[in-house]
Structure 1
Amino acid sequence: MFRQVSRTSGTSCYFMSSEGQEMYLRFDQTMRRSPYRMSRILARRQLLTKIQQEIEAKEACDWLRAAGFPQYAQLYEDSQFPIDIAAVKKDHDFLDKDLVEPLCRRLNTLNKCASMKLDVNFQRKKASKHYENL
């Protein structure tokens, strides 16, 4: 797989043969990585996703308060989400479509963030129960 090539200065270098390179490239990156490295990569991705969700949720709550809908921001902070968007549309049927669409877009963002929080908490509880049973 590796072959030694001598240099003029008396030192030698090792190069991967073309057969070795082809074999190395045939494996996808996930097979070349160690399980420890893969777990670190996955943990980093989960952390970045969580941070991004928190930023989106904060921006949506700030928008809701500024637009005159602080009750929805409060519901989100009190973990009362997800909420039914159709019911919100019925409650605010007096508003123009141009005003209801941004409201529903922010509420959908908060619904998505809340459901992801629930998924993470469920996975944590499931893992902790698993370790308690051991």
Structure 2
Amino acid sequence: MRYWLFKSEPSTWSWDDQVAKGDAGEEWDGVRNYQARNFMCEMAIGDKGFFYHSQSEKAVVGTVEVIAKAHPESKTDDPRWECVDIKAVQPVKTPVTLEQIKADERLSQMVLVNNSRLSVQPVTETEWRIICDLAGITG
């Protein structure tokens, strides 16, 4: 199993929107960055991810699970864009902010710290466990 981080602007697609989709989940569509798309192509069913609210909140607010491998995005005819489907797993007890992540020396190599604009990015198992601990959840 691998770990990921999915960034979304809450005004466009929020944690509550994701939760409302239930076990059916939703396509993680609209990604128009080749590196982020390529990361989705590496994902496997059962991989876990953090759901991260960007813009003003800038915090991990929940965890998700990949429920469908990469496939052509249904909202475009452009064959370059693929996506995975994800479902909400659990909310965090305490949101973990970007400020907290940047301040934690153990997370200094995290992609989010060094490339905060990338909308889909890998997370190491160690980073996953640290953030889950900070968030008050078990991963």
TM-score (normalizing by structure 2): 0.21
Larger Rg: 1
Greater share of residues in strand: 2
Greater share of residues in helix: 1
